Structure 1
């Protein structure tokens, strides 16, 4: 947690610690337009604390200013700060690097002495084109792919941490439904690890990541070949009843073949893990 002018500023991604004071400072560069886990965290904090919102209007790029203004209005409706203070000075290079370190802790540790030159090089190449500090790192995985093509483990580590960072703030609104049709969770992200990754402590394979609205967490799952086939059948926003999905799955030419009951179990597992949702 960082402090500025003796005020308690809540830093994100949040580490779960709160100041003792009743008033907590949050910044537009961390909270405007967010949803998913971050919004849930803020609403929970709001129950016992008052928010002071710091804005940085003079630092918002002109290309996104109109969108920022609309998102700020919407955020104010649920954030309900006791005051809004516009900040005239802002150390962007320092703050954006602090955000990187919080969003990519395993990548930070992995890069070691390579970290500083890599971040400096990225920041020189990337134009500031958002208002959320975390968004400034959305192209970092592509940058790492070009800079270290011989390090697939590093590239996959960066992708893994960025998926978590992205899902943490996206404004997903997934309505709970008792419908009979099945589709993929709209927050679904997929990443293939091409080799065992010691930093992540994960084996090679295909992984899914979703925002689970019931638990307000990011759920990850390693898929087997049958679960992967089910996701392929539901690609491109396809929607089927469970019976239709079963019939199509049985026709899949996968060896070793599994029976109808086993396919049913795979569907139930994906539903329970929020990879699939009913609509």
Structure 2
């Protein structure tokens, strides 16, 4: 199987997944894999001889944890893989629109990135975590490309991170720990997105990444809840009324903004 995965169950049974794609993952990919293992027999293919020595101890620990929750029918050793070939396939899946925008330059830019970056993980996807910064350094004037790579990497990062997200019926409001934000400074043609500040969160109930533009009032509410602060809805409202945001809005309108952030899973009810 290839990851990121669209969630459509494969016809094959059993299904082979690789440690290079699944060891240590959480968030949406873990949910997908649990759904997969409930419907198909799963075999786990290992590439332990190819894992960098610098992360081998951590890999071994995460592998044991992954086997415990994935419960594969069989674990077996795979053949040594062609790193450059496989990591480039991963690039196209993680950055599909950026790959299109790069066009004929893609091969050269990826080759330069791979030459500059030492592999220091076991997940192939993680090897591209600095690609946005690399693009910004190479093309400092190309804001569209930089913001597009950032957008796609945020989605990829949120898909696998082992967030501890526990929403409930408590009285306190907290920021979703998966929250990421990205300013888009001009119309993003590849995404068909206007400029604005975008918020991204992992919605584990819906098993999807949700994105939303933030207005100045929603951004203000998130600032008030920053640094792990928590308020009841009424406390947050009172704090918001003290903010000097122009134009001013009524308490009822502030309440609506709080509700929008709750419905979007950007802030959560917490029972701590």
TM range (shorter): over 0.9
Q: Is the 8 A contact 1:144 1:155 kept in 2?
A: yes
SS state at 2:39 partner? coil
Distance 2:226 2:9 in 1: 41
1:76 aligned onto 2:67: yes
Task: Name the counterpart of 1:256.
Answer: 247
Q: Aligned residue for 1:166?
A: 157
Alignment match of 1:127 (pick from 101, 114, 118): 118
Alignment of 1:36-75 (within 5 A): 36-75=27-66
Structure 2 residues not aligned, in runs of 5+ = none
- State the number of aligned residues: 270
Runs of 4+ in 1 over 4 A off after TM superposition: none
- Partner residue, 2:109: 118
Partner of 1:240: 231
TM-score (norm 2): 0.97
Which among 153, 165, 181 is matched to residue 190 of structure 1? Answer: 181
Secondary structure of 1:29's aligned partner = helix
Q: What is the DSSP-based 3-state SS (H/G/I as helix, E as strand, rest coil) of the residue aligned with 1:257?
A: coil
RMSD: 1.0
Q: Which runs of 5+ in 1 are unaligned?
A: 1-9
Alignment deviations for residues 211-248 of structure 1 (CA, whole Å, 9 cap, x no partner): 01221110100001100111111111111111111111
Kept in 2, the 8 Å contact 1:22–1:48? The answer is no
**1:123-162 equivalences in 2 (<5 Å):** 123-162=114-153
CA gap 1:176/1:254 in 2 versus in 1, 3 angstroms: closer
Partner of 2:20: 29
